[in-house]
Amino acid sequence: MSGQPKLPDKNGAPEPVAPEIQATDNIRKRAERERADTAKYAISKFARDIVGVSDNFQRAIAAVPPGAADRDPALKSLVEGVSMSEREFLQVLERHGVKRIDPTGEIFNPHLHQAVMEQPNPELPSGTVLQVLQPGYSIEDRVLRPAMVVVAKGGAKPAKPSEPRVRA
């Protein structure tokens, strides 16, 4: 019944809808919203658990001393393989709506970042992210894991924060 247009009364105003019809319509709309949210965030728990794999890829690459891969062809192949695996893993996450948060150079946003340390740096505005210790991840508009960051302290006042960026 809610799909039928409301007929205007003799003054041209739509007639009021019966409370039962309005309640039914509200329940239907809420169910549609919940169904859409379930579809969007269905993999949230799995994604929260799996993003640590990306950290392990990065740790494996960082464990190779600079220049060592250039001297040893087998090690170079291993590093390239791990790098390709990490890229593919991140692309799969991206296809499923999971985005990496890498805020280097941005103004600290407590909704997306977790400050683990402040570092004096008068050259940058106070509150600027100097270093990302661990990237964060989000799915749609929800944060799965905030980025762990080092924030500048002691510089000029930060500019008005822009829209938070979520990068792949």
> pLDDT digits over 52-94, tens only?
999 999 999 999 998 898 999 999 999 999 999 999 999 999 9
> Any residues with CB less than 8 A from the CB of 90 and at least 6 apart, and which?
54, 100, 168
pLDDT value, residue 4:
56
More confident residue, 13 or 132: 132
Decide: helix, strand or coil at residue 78.
helix
What confidence category does residue 39 fall into, taking pLDDT thresholds of 50, 70 and 90? confident
Q: How far apart are CA 90 and CA 96, in angstroms?
A: 10
Contact 163, 112 (CB under 8 A): no
Please give the distance of CA 106 from its chain centroid, rounded to a whole number: 15
What is the enclosing helix (H) or strand (E) of 160?
Answer: none
Q: Is the pLDDT of residue 11 over 50?
A: yes
More confident residue, 42 or 167: 42
pLDDT value, residue 5:
55
pLDDT value, residue 94:
92
Sign for the CA dihedral angle at 72, 77, 81, 86 comes to positive
What confidence category does residue 124 fall into, taking pLDDT thresholds of 50, 70 and 90? confident
Nearest to 155 by CA among 125, 129, 127: 125
pLDDT value, residue 150:
95
pLDDT value, residue 1:
47
